Structure 1
Amino acid sequence: MSIDKTLKAPNGMVRSRNVLKRGERIEQLKIEDRWVEGQSPLGLPKVRVAQAAAGRKKKKKKKEGEEDDDDKK
């Protein structure tokens, strides 16, 4: 039986995770200037995780005189 191509990632986990560990959340809060030294690491505020947007193909703009292929049918 073959292995699915999604399970054969050569670089390990390439995708970004949507849940951060406590240390990662504290680092992100420091970057956003929302962390105060001496603050309790329990009950941290939520931190947004940047989502990679999927690239989409741009539609070609039509000139005024041209018709769609669908319009001809």
Structure 2
Amino acid sequence: MTIDKSLKVKAGGTSSRSVLTRVERITRLSETDRWSEGSSAFGLPKVRVKILQLKKKKKKTKEEDEK
């Protein structure tokens, strides 16, 4: 059975996540020297997640195409 076109999401799961797993947080904290190897994996500090926003391309008008 297929999904109706109106129910499909255009991005299709390509959006960035706003929450990191514990392993991802530990790797980011260790890169910035905020976590050491012997520290507890519980109660980790918050880690900012950078969200990429793509700029939309401007549509060319007919006048610009003729030049």
Structure 1 residues 50 and 37 mapped into 2: Cα distance closer, same or farther (>3 Å)? same
CA RMSD of aligned residues (A): 2.5
- Between the aligned residues of both structures, percent identity stands at 45
Paired AA for residue 5 in structure 1: K
Bigger CA radius of gyration: 1
- Match of 2:24, SS? helix
Who is 2:9 aligned against? 6
**Post-superposition shift, 1:53?**
2.3
**Structure with more contact order per residue of length (Cα contacts < 8 Å, sep ≥ 6):** 2
> Can you give the 5+ residue segments of structure 1 that lack an aligned partner in the other structure?
59-73
Paired AA for residue 33 in structure 2: D
Q: Does 1:37 align with 2:37?
A: yes
Give the TM-score taking structure 2 as reference length.
0.64
Matches within 5 A, 1:1-73: 2-3=4-5, 4-6=7-9, 9=12, 13-55=13-55
Provide runs of 4+ in structure 1 moved above 4 Å.
none
Give the TM-score taking structure 1 as reference length.
0.60
Distance in 2 of aligned mates of 1:53 and 1:8: 13
> Can you give the 5+ residue segments of structure 2 that lack an aligned partner in the other structure?
59-67
